Structure 1
């Protein structure tokens, strides 16, 4: 049975329409995936600004950095899995503390000497206080510096925004996002009782 030219043109047209629709869906899918990856690899503008100002103000040179945004849903799934795997208690507390946000890991050109860390605390505190963050926890010992900041006037320990700065040798880590304050205090107290050195301060 022969098909008429009109029928053949109709079949070709249908195939073209299907191909166009599939191509459009592919483009949209790639665009959505691209946006998702961009958002995952792009930290919040506020943290990016703090990092830039902090490194410039302190004249700290870095050799490399890794910055990612961690969505709260990923952390929620991780908290569901943790009870079934062998994770140290400190890791469980840290996971409980974080609710999602941005993380930056930076390799410093030179390690910050222990004698310079107290000065670093004051300069970082002054810089963040200008942005209306207040220091809530400070841990200093010969190997490590940990500072936790919260928005000024925040009185909700179960749900607050936090900025955390950790300096350990030639590594510096910045974290900004939503957090639960109580596990942070527990971690700091545990560090203090275990090592019995340095200084621990709750502001």
Structure 2
């Protein structure tokens, strides 16, 4: 018979190790995103013909990558825990019925329920983790999609972006809130401004 407590402990340990490993990989992606944002903020303005000074633009809000990473880690841990709680608890199979005759042998034990020993974890490389339980011809699976920000580079017109996709457009960094093919800045319901482009410096005065 399947030891339910040991199976749950083994499953939780496997899921926890998997989450920690992927959160570490996510941290590296967020670090690379931070480097990209820093490059945008450090960009030097090109010198053009001297004109009148315009009104100073508003300062952009700095993104705190530590807060972003902590938020993503909490969401990943919470959703994995919720997914595991929703899985069916393995149960021992029912004992088989006795034979019809007095001398008949006892019936065989019923099949054990699917447990964590039958579990495989699959990751699509971006946002979705699938917990698959397989034993012989028996199969059951559950997928969990996390709201992770993925950097998609410079915005491309007419390309479909999914929620959580981040793009650079006109020096600012935007994150999609829903599936969209619109341009950042044109549709506030589809895009959220994450990092505003820094204002250009004033032209140097001739000596």
User: Normalized against structure 2, the TM-score is what?
Assistant: 0.23
User: Normalized against structure 1, the TM-score is what?
Assistant: 0.23
Find the structure with the greater CA-based Rg.
Answer: 2
Larger helix percent: 1
